[in-house]
Structure 1
Amino acid sequence: MQLILRTVVIFLALWLVLRVAGKRQVAQMDAFDLVTIIVLGGVVTQGILQEDYSLVSALVAIGLVTLLAVGLSVLTWRFPGADKIIEGEPTILLQDGRPDETAMRAERVSMANLLAAAREHGIRDLEEIDLAVLEADGAVSFFTRRTGEDDQPPEHRAKAL
C-alpha cells in the first residue's frame, strides 16, 4: 500500500512540475534537459521504490504510473473542462502583427523566441502574422494574413478554365 501511495504522490508531483515549468519549456528541450530528466528518473525511482528494488515492486510502480497517465487521458476525454486543467490552454501571443506582452511574459516567451519560431515557419516579419498561438503542447501556431485573391470567399474567386 505504501508503494502505491508513494507512486501516486510522485506522479502528481511530476505532473505539477511540468505544468509549472510552462509550455515552451517542455517543447524546447535540449541535451542538458534530457540528462536532467534521466537523472530525475533515478531520483523518482528511489522515491517510489525506496529500498525495495525487487522486480515486482518496479513492475507495480510502472503499471501504476501507466494507469495514472491513462486515467488522466480518460478524464480529459470524458470531461472537456478537465482538459484545460490537466493539459492547459492555448495562449494568444500575437494578434494583428502586435505582440501581447502580458501573455508573452506570463508564458515566459521572449520576442527572440517568437521571432525564431516565426522564421522556422518561413515568416520574415511579424506584420505578416494575423495570429500566433502558443499551443498547450508548447508548439507555436502561426496564422498569416491572406493577400490578394485569397481574401475573397471561395465562391468569388476566379475559376480556371
Structure 2
Amino acid sequence: MDVVIRSAVVFLLLWMVIRVSGKREVGQLSAFDMILLVTVGDLVSQGVVQEDYSLTAAVVAVATFALAGVVLARLGFWLPGLRPTLAGVPRVVVRDGEPVLDVLEGERITMDDVFEACRKQGIRSLHDVELCVLEVDGTFSFFTTGPDDDREGGRDDHEVK
C-alpha cells in the first residue's frame, strides 16, 4: 500500500509540474530535455519504490500511474467544468494578422516561435493568418485567409523571418 500512496503523490506532483511548465515546453522537448526527463524518471522511481526493487513494486507503481491517468481522464469526461484545469484550454495567439501579446507573454511564447510555426505551415506573412491557436498539446493551428480576401499589403513588421 505504501507504494500506491507514494506513486499517487508523485503522479500528482508530475502532473502539476507539466501543467505549470506550459504547453510549448512539453510540445518542444530537446534532446537535453529528453535526457533530463529520463533522469527525472529514474529519480522518481527511486522515490516511489524506495527500497523495494521487486517486480511487484514496479508493477504496482506503473499500475498506479496508469490508473491515476485514467481517473483524471474520466473526471474530465464526467465533469466538463474540470476539463480546462485538467487538460488546459486552447489559446488564440494571433488574430487577424496581429499577435495577441498578453497571451504570448502568458504562455511564454516568442514571436520567433510563431514565425517558425508559420514557416512550417508554408505561411509567408502573419497578415495571412486569421487565427493562430496554441492547442493544449503545444502545437499551433492556423486558419488563414483565402486567396480572394483583400488584405492590406506592404507592411513589413509581420513578415515571417
Whole-angstrom distance in 1 between the partners of 2:83 and 2:147 = 36
Secondary structure of 2:63's counterpart equals helix
Q: Please, which runs of 5 or more residues in structure 1 have no aligned partner?
A: 150-161
CA-atom RMSD, angstroms? 1.1
Identity among equivalent pairs (%): 41
Q: Please, which runs of 5 or more residues in structure 2 have no aligned partner?
A: 150-161
Larger Rg: 1
Secondary structure of 1:57's counterpart equals helix
TM-score, scaled relative to structure 2: 0.90
Whole-angstrom distance in 1 between the partners of 2:82 and 2:32 = 32
Partner of 1:29: 29
Secondary structure of 1:29's counterpart equals coil
TM-score, scaled relative to structure 1: 0.90
Aligned 1:52-131 pairs, distance under 5 A: 52-131=52-131
Partner of 2:153: none
Partner of 1:39: 39
Moved over 4 A (4+): none
How far 1:77 moved relative to its partner?
A: 1.6
Aligned residues: 149
Secondary structure of 1:122's counterpart equals coil
2:136 paired with 1:136: yes
Q: Deviations over 1:88-120 (max 9, x none)?
A: 001110101000111000000000000000110
Whole-angstrom distance in 1 between the partners of 2:29 and 2:22 = 12
Amino acid at match of 1:47: G
